[in-house]
Chain A
Amino acid sequence: MRHLLSTADLSHTQALSILDTAEEMAAVSTREVKKLPTLRGRTVVNLFFEDSTRTRISFEAAAKRLSADVMNFSAKGSSVSKGESLKDTVQTLEAIGADAIVMRHWASGAAAQLAGSGWTDCAVINAGDGTHEHPTQALLDALTLRRGWSAAHGEDPRGTDLTGMRVLIVGDILHSRVARSNIWLLRTLGAQVGLVAPATLLPVGVEKWPVSVYYSLDEALGSGPEAGPDAIMMLRVQAERMGGAYFPTAAEYTRRWGLTDERLARLAAHRGAAGQRPMILHPGPMNRGVEISAAAADSPMNQVLDQVSHGVSVRMAVLHLLLSSSERNTA
């Protein structure tokens, strides 16, 4: 593995290798000295063409815990806003001596273009590209789900996958890079996936995807192959989608697709095959009262803070695997 661009590219073995490495990294994060010397002398650039403080800080923490030097490059207020091309920006970073570029970009495919362009020898990590993918988010979600799933079965998470787990993803699938990355990764790991959304927020051709599709959250929770799910992932709803007539009002969205107190109660009554309660995931930041009620947000079933700490572990694992396996090709 030279880059991490899409979870669709990950084999079962590679995905498990990242998750197992992340478990090792998580152990480091609980120590008093949260630092490994692995990437000493290596340089990681966080190249963010779109604001995302959470993702950037997570990557920064991950790289620093591996002793890498970190440079943050934000497109706002930089030469990029003066019309510098992606090519020139990246070649500049390469000349400065970057070994890995962690890129968040507003354009779908930007990371894949960068990796395939020949503009740089750096390892490229996709930290979210447009409405395409966000692979490290899916990996941290998988790490979170695997923790819960293996604990319920009384197993050590390492080496296990998500076979048999039933996961619902609820919300704006059409515009969600988190959903796309999760669908491919969860399927690779053996989970069963159901998508729940208004028809306007599902991509054309979704019926060919390896998932169940529901227009009704109540139906998804109550009947169908994913009824009584082991986990439910609530996606953030963007207010601007209302302008595009994707749904009429936030209130109607909440009534039909929100994780309301009533639905939380139904969910909390479910017990999995091993007697466990369902997990609630959210990539953050949450819109309390829109896609998720305050009670659901604060419920002990909600994994959102675990997701954040798992994010650091997964990103450490990815940086470690990409940078320590191959020496930089110095030209």
Chain B
Amino acid sequence: MSDTPTAATLILGARPYGEAPLDLLIKDGRIAALGEAARAQAEQLKAEQVTTVEAEGLIMLPGMVDLHTHLREPGREDAETVETGSRAAARGGFTAVHAMANSSPVADSAGVVEQVHRLGRASGWTEVYPVGAVTVGLAGERLAELGAMAESSAQVRMFSDDGMCVHNPVLMRRALEYVKTVDGFIAQHAQEPLLTEGAQMNEGDVSAVLGLPGWPAVAEESIIARDVLLAQHVGSRLHICHVSTAGSVEIIRWAKERGIDVTAEVTPHHLLLTDELVRGYDPVYKVNPPLRTGADVEALRAGLADGTIDVIGTDHAPHPTQAKECEWSAAAMGMTGLETALPVVIKTMINTGLMDWRRFAEVTSITPARIYRHAHQGRPLQPGEPANLILVDAEATQTVDPEGHASKGRNSPFRGMELPGAVRATFLHGHPVVLDGELNTPLSEASAGAAGSSQVRP
């Protein structure tokens, strides 16, 4: 059995961060050796214990970490389950995902976050960390039991009402203060509700012609401006979900210059798609925050390249077919993203020369892991480190076919697009959950425990 703790994997000729090729030996869930030492140690093991992976030409990166995933379970198992979403994550190259709280029931209690955490452990395709709701039922009225969620077996550190904005400024202030007591952080979905009542798409030239109620950039930017000032005032950590406008990038840049402890995320779709796509009224392009303009896309790319924006978050939001096969204004908001994130980031950031593979590793793995304070994700590709890593064929091109995705969601806005790059292998605690670009076998719960997947804090 390849997943017994004593099994080892020898990866031949992969290029860490796209740099000079090296061999790498994985053993007991960790990187055992690099370079010459990898082969030497492998030769000391019994041949049947070593699986060899030919990786010439492939790029080795730390496993990606998604701070923004909707797994829909409990409650909307017709859209996605922890199991199917975890499979999608593994195929997409993610060794950890953070499941947003807008399930049904909402993940606003220890019971629900423990359930999601347990389902993630049982699936074994990726690590699943439930995000706790900031307010009861995401209603924005009173704080959920953040302490109970933090102390639960899920050890929640990230709290978000994502999908809804914590719009009450007093409540947001209290939430920012309160999470300090559990060393957590608030991830804000920045959307002023009154400015976006009934909003259907970005407010601008296209919405004016299409007659769809507009979603002004200021509705996002005003909340971000308020919240960075609140975070500064109370000295808390703030994370901004799915930044979508050029103005938001400017405000975050300003906040960082002032030393405010804010981090920001951008989705792959906001790096590539614009509101021009809405002209055909196909609800697959309906998303929150909405697709913006070409100028916004340029500003987001520049912000991600220069460090103003810290991480990629997919905002993977699967929906059943009927939720998108209807009138635009009746359709659900959201797009799938786990299985297309890496190709889209390669297309928009690597192939444009805006960033290199080191920066790619930062924004997809190292920094999101640091934000959550995971001690075993987003780690260097060095001996002794946990073997959460991926092999990427950057030269491959694939035409996106949502019917072939592991996610239950077919609502990919990239359908039919030819995108560069493919995940060839994903190692979760040393176990190949994806091999040859296909799902292999999940990590067993026992070996997940042995490999120390529970959180370790510095």
A124-157 contact mask (Cβ, 8 Å, vs B): 1 or 0: 0000011111000000000000000000000000
Q: Kindly provide the distance from the CB of B199 to the nearest chain A CB, expressed in whole angstroms.
A: 12
The answer to whether B216 touches A109 (Cβ under 8 A) is: no
B residues in contact with A131, CB < 8 Å: 211-213
Given A85-B322, A112-B280, A112-B281, CB of A206 within 8 Å of CB of B208:
yes
Size bin of chain B's contact surface:
20 to 34
Given A112-B281, A113-B281, A116-B280, CB of A130 within 8 Å of CB of B329:
yes
The answer to whether A204 touches B208 (Cβ under 8 A) is: yes
Q: Kindly provide the distance from the CB of B5 to the nearest chain A CB, expressed in whole angstroms.
A: 52
A residues in contact with B326, CB < 8 Å: 85-87
B residues in contact with A177, CB < 8 Å: 211
Given A108-B212, A113-B282, A133-B211, CB of A86 within 8 Å of CB of B205:
no
B residues in contact with A109, CB < 8 Å: 210-212, 281, 327-328
Enumerate B267-293 residues with CB–CB distance to A below 8 Å.
280-282
Provide the bound-state CA to CA distance between A177 and B211, in Å.
7
Q: Kindly provide the distance from the CB of A68 to the nearest chain B CB, expressed in whole angstroms.
A: 27
Q: Kindly provide the distance from the CB of A262 to the nearest chain B CB, expressed in whole angstroms.
A: 32
Across the two chains, which residue of chain A brings its CB closest to B216?
A204
Q: Kindly provide the distance from the CB of A49 to the nearest chain B CB, expressed in whole angstroms.
A: 9
Across the two chains, which residue of chain A brings its CB closest to B278?
A109
Given A87-B326, A105-B327, A107-B330, CB of A205 within 8 Å of CB of B211:
no
The answer to whether B204 touches A85 (Cβ under 8 A) is: no
Q: Kindly provide the distance from the CB of B325 to the nearest chain A CB, expressed in whole angstroms.
A: 6
A interface residues, how many (CB within 8 angstroms): 27
A residues in contact with B203, CB < 8 Å: 204
The answer to whether A180 touches B322 (Cβ under 8 A) is: no
A residues in contact with B85, CB < 8 Å: none
Given A107-B327, A204-B204, A204-B216, CB of A180 within 8 Å of CB of B209:
yes
Provide the bound-state CA to CA distance between A112 and B325, in Å.
13
Q: Kindly provide the distance from the CB of A195 to the nearest chain B CB, expressed in whole angstroms.
A: 12
The answer to whether A107 touches B328 (Cβ under 8 A) is: yes
The answer to whether the Cβ of B207 comes within 8 Å of any Cβ in the partner chain is: yes
A residues in contact with B329, CB < 8 Å: 106-108, 130
B residues in contact with A8, CB < 8 Å: 209
B residues in contact with A130, CB < 8 Å: 211-212, 329
Provide the bound-state CA to CA distance between A86 and B327, in Å.
8
Provide the bound-state CA to CA distance between A282 and B212, in Å.
23
Provide the bound-state CA to CA distance between A177 and B210, in Å.
10
A residues in contact with B207, CB < 8 Å: 203-204
The answer to whether the Cβ of A312 comes within 8 Å of any Cβ in the partner chain is: no
Provide the bound-state CA to CA distance between A110 and B203, in Å.
19
Given A113-B328, A205-B205, CB of A180 within 8 Å of CB of B211:
yes
Provide the bound-state CA to CA distance between A85 and B211, in Å.
22
Across the two chains, which residue of chain A brings its CB closest to B212?
A108
The answer to whether A85 touches B210 (Cβ under 8 A) is: no
Which residue of B200, B209, B325 is within 8 Å of A85 (Cβ)?
B325
Which residue of A113, A133, A180, A205 is within 8 Å of B327 (Cβ)?
A113
The answer to whether the Cβ of B214 comes within 8 Å of any Cβ in the partner chain is: yes
The answer to whether the Cβ of A208 comes within 8 Å of any Cβ in the partner chain is: yes
A residues in contact with B328, CB < 8 Å: 107-110, 113
Most buried by B among A107, A116, A209: A107
Which residue of A87, A132, A204, A208 is within 8 Å of B211 (Cβ)?
A132
Provide the bound-state CA to CA distance between A129 and B200, in Å.
15
A residues in contact with B325, CB < 8 Å: 85, 87
Given A85-B322, A112-B280, A208-B205, CB of A132 within 8 Å of CB of B327:
no
Q: Kindly provide the distance from the CB of B205 to the nearest chain A CB, expressed in whole angstroms.
A: 4
Provide the bound-state CA to CA distance between A87 and B214, in Å.
26
A197-227 contact mask (Cβ, 8 Å, vs B): 1 or 0: 0000001111011000000000000000000
Binding site for A on B (CB under 8 A): 200, 203-205, 207-214, 216, 280-282, 322, 325-330
Binding site for B on A (CB under 8 A): 8, 85-87, 105-110, 112-113, 116, 129-133, 175, 177, 180, 203-206, 208-209
Top 8 nearest A-B pairs by Cβ distance?
A109-B281, A132-B211, A203-B208, A107-B327, A131-B211, A205-B205, A108-B211, A205-B208
Q: List 12 A-B contacts (CB under 8 A).
A: A86-B326, A86-B327, A106-B329, A110-B327, A116-B281, A130-B329, A131-B213, A203-B214, A204-B203, A204-B207, A206-B208, A208-B205
Instruction: Kindly list 6 other residue pairs between chains A and B, CB separation below 8 angstroms, not including A110-B281, A129-B211.
Output: A86-B326, A108-B328, A109-B211, A130-B329, A133-B211, A175-B211
